[in-house]
Amino acid sequence: MNAPSALRYVKMNGLGNEIVVVDLRNGGRPLNASEVRAIAAAPATAFDQMMVLEPPRTAGTEAFVTIFNTDGSESAACGNGTRCIGWLEKERTGRSDLRFETRAGILPVRVKDLSAITVDMGEPRFGWADIPLSEQFHDTRAIELQIGPIDNPVLHSPSVVNVGNPHVVFWVDKPVSGYDLGRFGPMIENHPLFPERVNVTIAEVTSRTSIDIRTWERGAGLTRACGTAACATAVSAMRKKLVDRQVTVNLPGGPLVIEWASDNHILMTGPAEIEHEGILGEDRPQAAATDQPRLVPHGRLS
């Protein structure tokens, strides 16, 4: 199925995590999975996640956001995408404090500038049934799961957590680039232990305030940046007392600052970048003015 025509979009990225934003708040029907896959396959609109803004369902929020992966499946939260829509909405309304609703709940956003956008990602969930897992584990700081030979596993004893999406984090003691995550990722994502599939991260703690990670994203594959993975890794490392309560998580696309605040909420701060805007189905996107980023008019074109 082809992508729907005459629907405006903005193409952005958060640390290289490719984001397409579509605004349906003033009209336009919801997109289906086949249309989403077609949009992801088009060169101008290739994305890791698509953020579809729909009319608010809760008073005091800007929009209800449906988040799609490249395979047409839905994601409950996307930290990098939320920073992107936060910037666009700030430019549209002039307000720096915003609230968006997703399947993961309401996510407050504070915008300073394009280099510093903070998203309150909510509270992490560590219970095995909340992640969810198909088997009971009393301590989710390290569960029984390994990749490789029994007597010499390549990866083992990961932490698991839900930060809007389920995540599994494998701890390693050498650079994360040395692991073939492109091979291991799909196997772990679809492991029967994870009934809703899972995002897979390899993490190396390099100091009390720094972690390096690479992530295989559920429904999208290898990614240059995953905001929820950075949050999941940071709070898991904090639970294991490996790092302080504020840490820089270094992803292939760049760093994010993650703080696990005293109210149990995770605060993620990082940048967003505008690439271009255009109309779905057209081959030549319109370049966006970098000095005047904006949210394009809502809905379908007349």
pLDDT digits (tens, 9 = 90+) for 58-75: 999 999 999 999 999 999
Residues in the chain: 302
Average pLDDT over residues 182-188: 95
pLDDT exceeds cutoff 70 at 282:
no
Q: How far apart are CA 261 and CA 259, in angstroms?
A: 6
Is-cis flag, bond preceding 132, omega within 30? yes
| pLDDT recorded at residue 296 | 34
Domains of the chain are: 8-122+272-286 (3.10.310.10), 146-264 (3.10.310.10)
pLDDT classification of 299: cutoffs 50, 70, 90: very low
Q: How far apart are CA 119 and CA 234, in angstroms?
A: 15
Which of the residues 7, 21, 51, 78 is marked catalytic?
78
- Active site annotation includes 231: no
Average pLDDT over residues 175-180: 96
Q: Which two tokens stand for residue 33?
A: 């999975």
- Active site annotation includes 226: yes
pLDDT exceeds cutoff 70 at 285:
no
Which of the residues 22, 52, 133, 226 is marked catalytic?
226
pLDDT classification of 28: cutoffs 50, 70, 90: confident
Stated pTM of the model: 0.88
Q: How far apart are CA 35 and CA 37, in angstroms?
A: 5
